[in-house]
Chain A
């Protein structure tokens, strides 16, 4: 099938107004939240129903054309970067809340529903815990694809802990129902976080939980991140599991304060936000303890949120940190490395050394409880060589995280941006095992190709005799 024949078919399936092919219209979809990467697809299809999604995928399969599913496009690893000559399937029209079933603590939604809309739909009694900073716009389909986390996942877990059912369209157009309770392999668990490479979810059933009875929030200021890190260790060692425990360093405080005017002291070396939630008795007893532990670790100022407005301001300041970096530098690379929490001080020192060596500013914002760092490597594209230097520095920071026993990504995903770092964490046999899963779901490699895996790989026939693929013959791909 020719490209124009495929486009005509997509128009027949979705309605002509929902298939974009004009270069200006396509440009909108050229990048996701990571704008360093840009790629114009053959076409953008905007199906309006799950059946249309299935038909679009089926049409792509029959035409042998790859496709990429996209939610709100807020991802930070280039996971929704289009494929040239491929179709981008935008799921923004699938935003119906299908069922709210609080008797079973569950909600069923379409993939385009925003993360925050889910909590709104089950409020005031329940909420959906994963809360990425982009939650007001990011879609649940994207959260499922990326296994999104957020500030509260140290206590509450990640998207994967809340997905209890999925309707998935596989790359050949087959619709599969996956339920957490079905006997057999946990295909649901394998699908969540697979970054759109195993298929596309068209209906999502989620577990929601009761809103905590009590929430207590404080922000403590320290002279240095290492003292704030000591406070984190002391809190966790005391057996306290805060709902959230977040740290910002001097540079990110400066940027965020300029944006939100929360009254943060600009000469503080670190701000530590600690939020406890849960039953009132438990929360109150532990909150006193947290204040003491912060003071013992050298906090020079501890501010307790005395109202919901004060709490909201603390969180607004934290969640604004990324966007506010525009006040510090015209551009930045954000990393998403994870380290064992006990190595925090050592790795931050290493990041400082690297920043000095490269002559660049690095701001640190992180989920301190789970050791998930978001170093923001600031640069100016107008200065010759600086973007490249920034990228190199960002790579070294990732490597420092892996060397400390951590991970290249805690919540942003591998996408295109971090696939080159995959060999830092995984050896060939590990990557081969990943590929086996990929091949079981998508043997023709049509779903979001070129993501996650560091090199293109094919799916051999299994079981059966070896046959050389034309791409192998030409040296484009290798077989495992």
Chain B
């Protein structure tokens, strides 16, 4: 049967679960997918004979505007859900690449975004998918359908399995639906931006803004070939006034060409787009926020282009595939790196997750063996070959 792939597109939770149950009983593995925008991420694993796609699980099951919550089936495209929420002046505070209603390329589904833990500039204020998911319904490797969490914004009953599944890359089971917390869409927004040519100055400016009580919606960095800048988005009732204040702080911190703009959508679209690479390699770097200057210097050494969340220490560095190893060696000690977009040859050569064995990895293996005992879901895609 090598080379022939069965594509399953179930329209119900039960049908989706039965695909996994059957595969488990028959000793097959299953490749899980949503919109297919991140299929190449992770390790190059063995090809599965079955592909299970969430395309027909695409209902916005609930939008409880008064409660600022929603229930979304996994195959709902985030961009479509956002349009719906916007009619009530609300949003799901997630803005990863390929999910903006304003973009033509917007196939990312909520299931895929949660499963991969992907996020965008709004992570600065609102957190990652794991912080916005209130509950989840999943199909485990053996076909068990299980719920955890709830639909209310505050709930500590039972284990928080939604956090475990968020970022698990479909290796524990298939996310069928997610219950999410929504936020009010800001009344208005404005962005202050400032530029600089010295990594230390730019990083220090970002750090000063991060430490100030500004309640920024986003605080990003952009860097290319020894020059870059800081972008700070203010949102709310008086964003321009606040952005002017941010601009003043930027000037005081030594940034140049400081400006404030209300017409800032394109700026942030560019930041999101900078998290993906079609021809090169994209390395997601998590370091202490105070090590930002070192990350920028490392990127410069390798001809890298950086966008990132300055206050969170998360940077996306795009480099030529041949420069990835050099980048990894140049990054500050303690930085964690994940190779996202990259040619298959490179992903076969370098472990995209970085290989570090230890008790935590052993515990992850135990978790995998409990939730997917026969190893049906996305085999060997994940950390340590899980």
B259 CB → nearest A CB, Å: 20
A100 CB → nearest B CB, Å: 13
A434–B363 alpha-carbon span in the complex (Å): 16
Q: Is the CB of A187 within 8 A of B154?
A: no
Q: A372 near B: Cβ within 8 Å?
A: yes
Taking CB atoms, residues of chain B closer than 8 Å to A285 are 237-238
Q: Is the CB of A181 within 8 A of B154?
A: no
A interface residues, how many (CB within 8 angstroms): 90
B89 CB → nearest A CB, Å: 6
Q: Which of B157-165, B193-201, B264-272, B297-305 contacts A (4 or more CB under 8 A)?
A: B157-165
A89–B360 alpha-carbon span in the complex (Å): 23
Q: Is the CB of B242 within 8 A of A103?
A: no
Task: Given A170-B363, A190-B160, decide whether A278 and B64 contact each other with a Cβ distance below 8 A.
Answer: no
A422–B138 alpha-carbon span in the complex (Å): 19
B interface residues, how many (CB within 8 angstroms): 80
Q: What are the interface flags for B346-384 relative to A under an 8 Å C-beta threshold, 1 for contact and 0 otherwise?
A: 000000011000111101101101110110000000111
Q: A409 near B: Cβ within 8 Å?
A: yes
Look across to chain B and name the residue whose beta carbon is closest to the beta carbon of A418.
B157
Q: Is the CB of A104 within 8 A of B289?
A: yes
Contacting residue for A341 out of B66, B160, B363, B370, CB 8 A = B66
Q: B275 near A: Cβ within 8 Å?
A: no
Taking CB atoms, residues of chain B closer than 8 Å to A279 are 213-215, 236, 242
Task: Given A241-B183, A371-B153, A463-B374, decide whether A425 and B158 contact each other with a Cβ distance below 8 A.
Answer: yes
Task: Given A160-B163, A239-B89, A429-B144, decide whether A281 and B155 contact each other with a Cβ distance below 8 A.
Answer: no
Q: Is the CB of A437 within 8 A of B164?
A: yes
Q: A39 near B: Cβ within 8 Å?
A: no
Task: Given A125-B211, A237-B66, A440-B363, decide whether A411 and B369 contact each other with a Cβ distance below 8 A.
Answer: no
B320 CB → nearest A CB, Å: 23
Q: What are the interface flags for A218-245 relative to B under an 8 Å C-beta threshold, 1 for contact and 0 otherwise?
A: 0000000000000001001101110000
Q: Is the CB of A241 within 8 A of B184?
A: yes
Taking CB atoms, residues of chain A closer than 8 Å to B159 are 190, 193-194, 434, 437-438, 452
B151 CB → nearest A CB, Å: 6
A102–B288 alpha-carbon span in the complex (Å): 11
Q: A406 near B: Cβ within 8 Å?
A: yes
Q: A213 near B: Cβ within 8 Å?
A: yes
A429–B21 alpha-carbon span in the complex (Å): 14
Q: Is the CB of B359 within 8 A of A430?
A: no
Q: Is the CB of B163 within 8 A of A184?
A: no
Taking CB atoms, residues of chain B closer than 8 Å to A174 are 359
Q: What are the interface flags for B303-327 relative to A under an 8 Å C-beta threshold, 1 for contact and 0 otherwise?
A: 0000000010110000000000000
Q: A286 near B: Cβ within 8 Å?
A: yes
A212–B242 alpha-carbon span in the complex (Å): 14
Q: Is the CB of B359 within 8 A of A432?
A: no
Look across to chain A and name the residue whose beta carbon is closest to the beta carbon of B137.
A430
B43 CB → nearest A CB, Å: 11
Q: Is the CB of A405 within 8 A of B338?
A: no
Taking CB atoms, residues of chain B closer than 8 Å to A240 are 184
Taking CB atoms, residues of chain A closer than 8 Å to B186 are 239
Look across to chain B and name the residue whose beta carbon is closest to the beta carbon of A148.
B156
Q: Is the CB of B241 within 8 A of A411?
A: no
Q: B185 near A: Cβ within 8 Å?
A: yes
Q: Is the CB of A371 within 8 A of B360?
A: no
Task: Given A285-B237, A430-B147, decide whether A463 and B369 contact each other with a Cβ distance below 8 A.
Answer: yes
Look across to chain A and name the residue whose beta carbon is closest to the beta carbon of B371.
A436
Q: A147 near B: Cβ within 8 Å?
A: yes
Q: Is the CB of A433 within 8 A of B154?
A: no
Contacting residue for A282 out of B64, B242, B286, B364, CB 8 A = B242
A338–B135 alpha-carbon span in the complex (Å): 14
| In the complex, chain A residues 13-43 whose Cβ is within 8 Å of any chain B Cβ | none
Contacting residue for B64 out of A182, A342, A406, CB 8 A = A342
A176–B362 alpha-carbon span in the complex (Å): 10
Taking CB atoms, residues of chain A closer than 8 Å to B289 are 103-105
| In the complex, chain A residues 156-185 whose Cβ is within 8 Å of any chain B Cβ | 157-158, 160-161, 170, 174-179, 181-185
Taking CB atoms, residues of chain A closer than 8 Å to B384 are 184
Task: Given A185-B364, A241-B184, A409-B156, decide whether A340 and B67 contact each other with a Cβ distance below 8 A.
Answer: yes
10 smallest CB-CB distances across A and B, nearest first, come from A189-B163, A239-B184, A181-B286, A433-B146, A436-B370, A342-B66, A407-B155, A184-B383, A440-B366, A281-B238
Given contacts A105-B311, A281-B237, A281-B242, 10 further A-B contacts (CB under 8 A): A160-B163, A184-B382, A185-B164, A189-B166, A213-B213, A241-B183, A279-B213, A414-B158, A433-B138, A436-B140
28 contacts between A and B (CB under 8 A): A103-B288, A103-B290, A104-B313, A105-B210, A105-B211, A149-B156, A153-B154, A158-B154, A161-B131, A183-B383, A185-B364, A186-B164, A186-B166, A211-B213, A233-B66, A281-B242, A282-B237, A370-B152, A407-B154, A414-B156, A414-B158, A426-B148, A426-B157, A429-B144, A433-B146, A437-B370, A463-B369, A463-B373
Interface residues of A, Cβ cutoff 8 Å to B: 101-105, 125-126, 146-147, 149, 153-154, 157-158, 160-161, 170, 174-179, 181-187, 189-190, 192-194, 210-213, 233, 236-237, 239-241, 278-279, 281-282, 285-286, 338-342, 367, 370-372, 405-414, 418, 422, 425-427, 429-434, 436-441, 452, 462-463
